[in-house]
Structure 1
Amino acid sequence: MGVIVLLLGCSLTASAQTSDDQFKKPLKEVIDEIESRYAVKIRYPEELIKDKFVTYADWRFRPGDVEKTMTNILASQDITFAKEGDKKYKLQAFQYHLKTPDEGKQQLDYLATLYTDVTSWEKRKAELKTCMWEALKLSHLPAKPNSQPIITNKRTYDGYTVENVAIETLPGLYVTGSLYKPLNTKVLMPVILNPDGHFGDGRYRADAQYRCAMQARLGAIAFSYDLFAWGESALQFKSEDHRKSLAQTIQILNGMRSLDWLLTLKNADPKRVAISGGSGGGSQTMLLTALDDRITLSVPVVMLSAYHSGGCPCESGMGVHLCGSGTNNVEIAAMAAPRPQLAISDGKDWTQHVPDTEFPFLQRIYGFYGKTGVVKNVHLPQEGHDYGVNKRLALYDFLAKNFALDIRNVQDKSGSIDESKCTIEKYPEMYVFGEKGENLPATAIRKFEDLEKLVQ
């Protein structure tokens, strides 16, 4: 009789969950079961799991391995998880631009097998470069406008000048920025691009002004310019347009066409061209250097990572990281070789592993050219995600050494680098088109849809 009861019990369970209904369960119920089975706590926003179901739910469990179980279950829902502490996890929507640090290292290890010398590396680099141009649609853009830059409101400070500049990079599309120049402009001067990153207040913030003023006081022409749909660029577009994939193409184009103009300036030295930005500006620094051979020195700041490709579509939305059957920012940064490069990293963001993981990869590529001495890493383990003073000091030193600039121009009597002679301007002084955009040209594009028509 006991056998009959057992069989009936089995039959009842099977009728509740069979392959006919794909053993489907609500995701909320499955998460509750994970917490119960493995004695863990999982937090998540309710909207992330609302109305979601897991097929073959119970078949995805793995005894004794909560993380493998969570991977099996959540991957089907485009959800990932992060560990927050002992037996605590957080769920989030799938982040296409993120891997785990271990996955990033594994990809680097694989990529390293693809080339063993200059010849094989140059073949890989050419493949990546061709694909990136296509992915960004840079091969199909309208010709550069013939218009002259709009330049306003020249100010003179201690050792340098500042002017507001707008450059028409596509018909009706303007990139806005600040041009810093030394007072002595009778000698050949390096040109330095300073793309903005995703920091509050854009190029108007103090650390951006310090950085560019000091470059000018060192003896270089420095151009600090806005992200797409940020700062004055937001006069033409909505702020949400910044997070559209085409923003990546526009930002790279803006950098290239800004450099076109900068190299026409009197006494600009085409043999000394640098670029440096932090965060999203660091993403632009690496990619623009990979694509534009005119850049002879690069300093990506707080962005070199094997497992983080840039969380904004303006950094990764056009799929350049899918080129060559998969690449990452480290391989993209390596495309700068053998040109001098300084990677600045810290201990509190995704660049925390640079000294042990990403930098050795760069050194190996530079070693193919016999140039390991020109690639450097300054790692600041106690610092976080910014372009703070210690990061700027490393930049000034690297520029001075590689571009034969006189570091004494920015030192105090004790020999320390001194930023105190730089003037931090208020925002309105830095506007090209006026405080309310009243001077924006009548021919300017004012809708993202109009921009899309130019970039097919």
Structure 2
Amino acid sequence: MRRREFLKASAVVAGVGFLGRRGCTPAAEAAPVQAPPLGQEGTTMTIRDYLSREARRITDRALSQYPDAATWSRRVPEERRRFLEMMGLDHLPPYPERPPLNVRVTGVVERPGYRIEKLAYESLPGLYVAANLYLPQGEHAPRPPLAGVLYACGHAATQKVHYQAHPRRFTELGFACLVIETVQLGEVPGYHHGCYREGWFHWYSRGYTPAGVELLNGIRGLDLLAQRPEVDPERLGATGISGGGAATWWVAAADERVKVAAPVCGTATLASHIYDRTIDGHCDCMWWINTYRWDLADVAGLVAPRPLLIASADRDGIFTIAAIREVHAQAQRLYGLLGVPGNLRLVETPGPHSYHERSRTAIFSWFAKHLQGREVPPEEIGDIDLAPERQESADTLRVFVDGPPADDRAPRIQDELIPLPQPPRIVELTGLEKERQRVLTALRERTFGAFPSTPPPLATQVEFEDAEGNAYNCRFAFTAEEGWRLHGTLAVPNAAARPAPVVVALRSPGEERRATEAFIGPVRAPWARAIVDVRGTGDTAWGEELQWHLRRAAAWTGRTLASMRVFDTLRALEAVRDLPHVDGRRVALAARGEMAAVALYAALLDGGVSVVLLQDPPATQNAPSQPDGRGPAIEMLNCLRITDLPQVAGLLYPAQLVMVGECPPTYQWAEALYRTLGAPDRFRRLPSLAAWAEEQG
């Protein structure tokens, strides 16, 4: 079985590698492997070029899973399930089974022709959403049930106060309109900026995005509207601007009760976000955990064939007009395929990131047509009234006069929304194999799904050889992924038998000069020593000032820096097994600090590593990083929904596991598992790598 088949593999047992093989036939001790074709040597991209390329590929693939209407109809339920999974809401029960909203009306504002109910609801027990419900009243008010509109606030500091003219105008037009606040701002503050500002990059490992909470709050807002006697649950729409525009996309895609949607200034391609670096201006709530490598047009595929009006500004600094038009063009092809091209419209407005009279009146007209059955042209339907005397104060619209409830979960919902598994109880080998298979299957799909299914040839090449230090030494190169030519070194002591077992050490990002050489230096015959430079180290290193951008951009494309390095390590192990004088059946993997996380996952996926040597490994992937993005980057998409580092270590049994230096208490689980399975001597705690090397000599 070759690497391109790994996604189809259902199990990997001890000694069966990532390539589905047991060990490897040693390379001939003669000449080095054939050099790559002319022009390929040294071909290496920058990390920015790579992420831009991968984002472009994702954008180009959007909606390609729907060649015809029948395929769309058949696939949409599973695609919607995947979308909810990427939002962290795959465990959300269907509407009738959800917990009660526990709606609390804390006050009513009476105005001529309408009233405003100040209310809060619980989207989950203890997760409060502050909202205002605008309802028509008086002798000219339409008879209920009314069409309902969910208005999602953007990132304006005063939230429902800032946007009040919009729900008021909807109400004047005969709609019931619920305006809801975001988690980041407003009366019930939480966190949107975990990765953006706080250094909480472990959100990616948890599979958490604040977009999921905004989606949840929007879905429960629809629940609230559907339960109101004044509202027709069959005539609901959703709209909002900026962050509220993004929330409109999410809610309309996830909940088919939305019969019409109008996202404003919340549309662009992934290719643009990465290449144009507009991602740097975006909150974490603007994208999902991109497990399945979607773009926004794929989200539009879940809104179709329902009426969708995309409104955007042509000089928006975080949503380029070219990208907006591309999303619209991609969605237009699908709407045409489904036979409803008129249900999709793009409204472009002049100026920066903001509403315009043209977009507002187009939305009011669109909603009147599709929810009320009224044909009122935009130029006749009327705009919002921004006269100072019409605006309510923050005090007037406030829901919680004394502040958020004491049991409010918003500040900690990022730690509670997605349930994480507990370490499994394993008492015998059958249980170990079952858990290993479960973890590997889930990791391949949900953490390492961005691995190339058909990687290019390794084209391993020994670039030069020498005989210094009483050893055979060489520098070698190999192709890890298209556009990435990586390097390593090999030293085989003259005293070692040929072919020799080899310790492969991973260079660490930002390390001091020759730090890895010093780390692996104590290894002597009978072992050979190899050092590999994965992406972000050696020749492909990048400045730490770029790290914040790269960690977010990589995640949006469905991978992380750590997961890319896991792939590089797997390819490096293949390359090393092909080198002269190496016994590919006896390979050890060594790493320090953050690279220990990479080594653990690579060893598990490879399946043929006999010894894993770790110095100062991280205790868990469920821990924050530095706010500026510098330092260790060990996050991997969704991994904590599947496993954690100590459990990965345990699943390496019966490989020898050697902890050098500080061993966090979390690894006691792995140590106990080795003891339970009858091999306590294969889990070692040693003061230095030299101590292990002395035992081998």
TM-score (norm 1): 0.69
Q: 1:72 aligns with which of 33, 45, 49?
A: 45
Provide the C-alpha distance between the structure 2 equivalents of 1:379 and 1:276, rounded to a whole number of angstroms: 16
SS of the aligned residue for 2:188 comes to: helix
Tell me which residue corresponds to 1:444. 408
SS of the aligned residue for 2:79 comes to: helix
AA at the equivalent of 1:167: Y
CA shift at 1:389, angstroms? Answer: 3.2
Q: Is the 8 A contact 1:339 1:374 kept in 2?
A: yes
AA at the equivalent of 2:306: R
- The CA deviation string for residues 50-96 of structure 1, in whole angstroms up to 9 with x for no partner, is xxxxxxxxxxxx9xxxxx99x934x1xxxx49xxxxxxxxxxxx9x8
Provide the C-alpha distance between the structure 1 equivalents of 2:265 and 2:153, rounded to a whole number of angstroms: 13
- CA pair 418-246 structure 1, distance change in 2 beyond 3 A: closer
Q: Which moved more, 1:176-185 or 1:272-281?
A: 176-185
Provide the C-alpha distance between the structure 1 equivalents of 2:265 and 2:226, rounded to a whole number of angstroms: 28
- The CA deviation string for residues 168-211 of structure 1, in whole angstroms up to 9 with x for no partner, is 11111101111111113632211111111223432221xx1111
Tell me which residue corresponds to 1:338. 305
Provide the C-alpha distance between the structure 2 equivalents of 1:178 and 1:112, rounded to a whole number of angstroms: 37
- CA pair 388-405 structure 1, distance change in 2 beyond 3 A: same
Provide the C-alpha distance between the structure 1 equivalents of 2:328 and 2:192, rounded to a whole number of angstroms: 35
Tell me which residue corresponds to 1:26. none
Tell me which residue corresponds to 1:376. 345
- CA pair 346-201 structure 1, distance change in 2 beyond 3 A: same
Tell me which residue corresponds to 1:90. none
Provide the C-alpha distance between the structure 2 equivalents of 1:194 and 1:108, rounded to a whole number of angstroms: 28
AA at the equivalent of 2:258: I
Provide the C-alpha distance between the structure 2 equivalents of 1:136 and 1:425, rounded to a whole number of angstroms: 34
Provide the C-alpha distance between the structure 1 equivalents of 2:114 and 2:267, rounded to a whole number of angstroms: 31
- CA pair 180-337 structure 1, distance change in 2 beyond 3 A: same
Q: Which moved more, 1:361-370 or 1:345-354?
A: 345-354
AA at the equivalent of 1:197: G
Tell me which residue corresponds to 2:628. none
Provide the C-alpha distance between the structure 1 equivalents of 2:375 and 2:168, rounded to a whole number of angstroms: 14
Where in structure 2 are the equivalents of 1:28-427 lying within 5 Å? 72-73=45-46, 75=47, 80=48, 99=52, 104=56, 107-141=58-92, 144-146=98-100, 148-183=102-137, 184=141, 186-205=143-162, 208-234=163-189, 237=190, 245-307=208-270, 311-316=282-287, 318-319=288-289, 321-323=290-292, 326-349=293-316, 350-353=319-322, 356-380=325-349, 382-404=350-372, 415=380, 417-420=382-385, 423-427=390-394
Tell me which residue corresponds to 1:41. none
- The CA deviation string for residues 327-366 of structure 1, in whole angstroms up to 9 with x for no partner, is 1112212321111110112211224026742222111111
SS of the aligned residue for 2:294 comes to: coil
TM-score (norm 2): 0.46
CA shift at 1:388, angstroms? Answer: 3.6
- CA pair 329-444 structure 1, distance change in 2 beyond 3 A: same
Provide the C-alpha distance between the structure 2 equivalents of 1:242 and 1:260, rounded to a whole number of angstroms: 30
**Structure 1 gap ranges (5+):** 1-61, 63-67, 82-93
Q: Is the 8 A contact 1:108 1:361 kept in 2?
A: no
- CA pair 125-211 structure 1, distance change in 2 beyond 3 A: same
Provide the C-alpha distance between the structure 2 equivalents of 1:199 and 1:421, rounded to a whole number of angstroms: 16
Q: Is the 8 A contact 1:196 1:226 kept in 2?
A: yes
AA at the equivalent of 1:190: A
AA at the equivalent of 2:249: M
Q: Is the 8 A contact 1:242 1:314 kept in 2?
A: no
- The CA deviation string for residues 200-232 of structure 1, in whole angstroms up to 9 with x for no partner, is 432221xx1111101111111111111113101
Q: State the Cα RMSD in Å.
A: 3.2
CA shift at 1:394, angstroms? Answer: 1.4
Q: Is the 8 A contact 1:345 1:351 kept in 2?
A: no
Tell me which residue corresponds to 2:624. none
The structure that is helix-richer by fraction is 1
AA at the equivalent of 1:232: E
- CA pair 112-454 structure 1, distance change in 2 beyond 3 A: closer
Provide the C-alpha distance between the structure 1 equivalents of 2:129 and 2:301, rounded to a whole number of angstroms: 28
AA at the equivalent of 1:116: P
Q: Is the 8 A contact 2:259 2:371 kept in 1?
A: no
- The CA deviation string for residues 2-35 of structure 1, in whole angstroms up to 9 with x for no partner, is xxxxxxxxxxxxxxxxxxxxxxxxxxxxxxxxxx
**Structure 2 gap ranges (5+):** 1-38, 197-202, 274-278, 420-697
Provide the C-alpha distance between the structure 2 equivalents of 1:239 and 1:117, rounded to a whole number of angstroms: 38
AA at the equivalent of 1:393: T
- CA pair 147-267 structure 1, distance change in 2 beyond 3 A: closer
Tell me which residue corresponds to 1:85. none
CA shift at 1:379, angstroms? Answer: 1.0
The alignment covers a number of residue pairs equal to 351
- CA pair 352-433 structure 1, distance change in 2 beyond 3 A: same
Kindly, what percent of the aligned residue pairs are identical?
26
Q: Is the 8 A contact 2:296 2:327 kept in 1?
A: no
AA at the equivalent of 1:191: G
Provide the C-alpha distance between the structure 2 equivalents of 1:138 and 1:127, rounded to a whole number of angstroms: 14
- CA pair 179-405 structure 1, distance change in 2 beyond 3 A: farther
Higher Rg: 2
CA shift at 1:108, angstroms? Answer: 4.1
